[in-house]
Amino acid sequence: MTARPRSAAPCLPRQIHVFVRDWLSSNQILLRSDDGNVLIDSGYAKHVPLTLALVASRTGLDGDLLSLVVNTHGHSDHIGGNAALQRAYGCPIAMPEGEAALVDEWDERALLLGYAGQRAERFAVDIRLAVGTTHRWGDLDWQVIGAPGHDMRAVVFYSAAQRILVSGDALWRDGFGFVMPPDMDPEALPAVRATLDVLAGLDIATVIPGHGEPFTDVGAALERAYARVARLEADPSRMARHAVKVILTFALLDRERLSLDELPDFIDRVPLFADFNARYLHMTTPTLAAWLVDELSRSGAARVDGGVLLPRPGR
């Protein structure tokens, strides 16, 4: 007798194509329709050629191209392909309205770009998505639901007819995106819990997350997310430790290598490390660098080879 899989593979409507990417680039969700193809989230700047190739592989088959790019939120791994897609297809870009204001000003701190050692090509927002509105994409009606927490201006998209949630970084199969610790934003963690309460009140059969495979065991994912919230509430410094590890992992995936010699300089150049270190970690830069190398090696996010920190494949 063969073992049962943990959960059935989600069966998505045929107009929904999910490009599952690695952890540097968010997933892309293509919603195909005769009325125009819509792409939700666009990956990291480094991966623009692959993003363009993936989109091209599923559009243009009948001469129809991309008519709209939509973002769940404004982080570098979700907006990095926006400018290139807009150039390639001449299509408008839609963002949550709170995020659009930051993109208009290209606020690199609030968008966690230069401030966090991240990058994205600047683009213009054409359409502002208000919470509570509904949009017809891929022949389905999608409700825009506010999902603050990981990003205070984020939204998720919900199809009640298909019971599908496009969750961005608000809910993954195992957790959610990093959360700003209370000294940086006292509203962030309470917002994560409130957002989970909203999602728990929806009738969801399938979640298409911003990272990882789509999943159907939604109740178990919510339980894990609530347990994580409880752990963070009990020890807010855990959020700071987690955030600096995530930020360094992203930088490493982008750069592909960081020599141990240059790591302290890199840490000194990225303001987020200094802010989190001053408030929570209280280490010298070399000690922080050594601690990060140790933590990333232990978790499997990176490895050291010949004095160079390298990302693990598949992360």
User: Residue numbers of the site for Zn ion (CB under 5 A)?
Assistant: 75, 169, 177
Q: How far is the CB of 74 from Zn ion (least distance, A)?
A: 8
Q: How far is the CB of 78 from Zn ion (least distance, A)?
A: 6
Which residue, 154 or 267, has its beta carbon nearer to Zn ion?
Answer: 154
DSSP annotation of 9: P
Burial class for 237, CB neighbours closer than 10 Å (0-12, 13-18, 19+): middle
DSSP annotation of 170: S
Instruction: Please give the Cα distance from 206 to 154 (Å, whole number).
Output: 19
Contacts for 18 with CB less than 8 Å, ≥ 6 apart: 12, 27, 28, 29, 30, 208, 214
* DSSP-derived pairing of the beta strands 28-31 and 16-19: antiparallel
Burial class for 190, CB neighbours closer than 10 Å (0-12, 13-18, 19+): middle
Q: How far is the CB of 151 from Zn ion (least distance, A)?
A: 5
Q: How far is the CB of 150 from Zn ion (least distance, A)?
A: 6
Q: How far is the CB of 192 from Zn ion (least distance, A)?
A: 12
Q: Which of 273, 192, 196, 292 is nearest to 233 (CA)?
A: 192
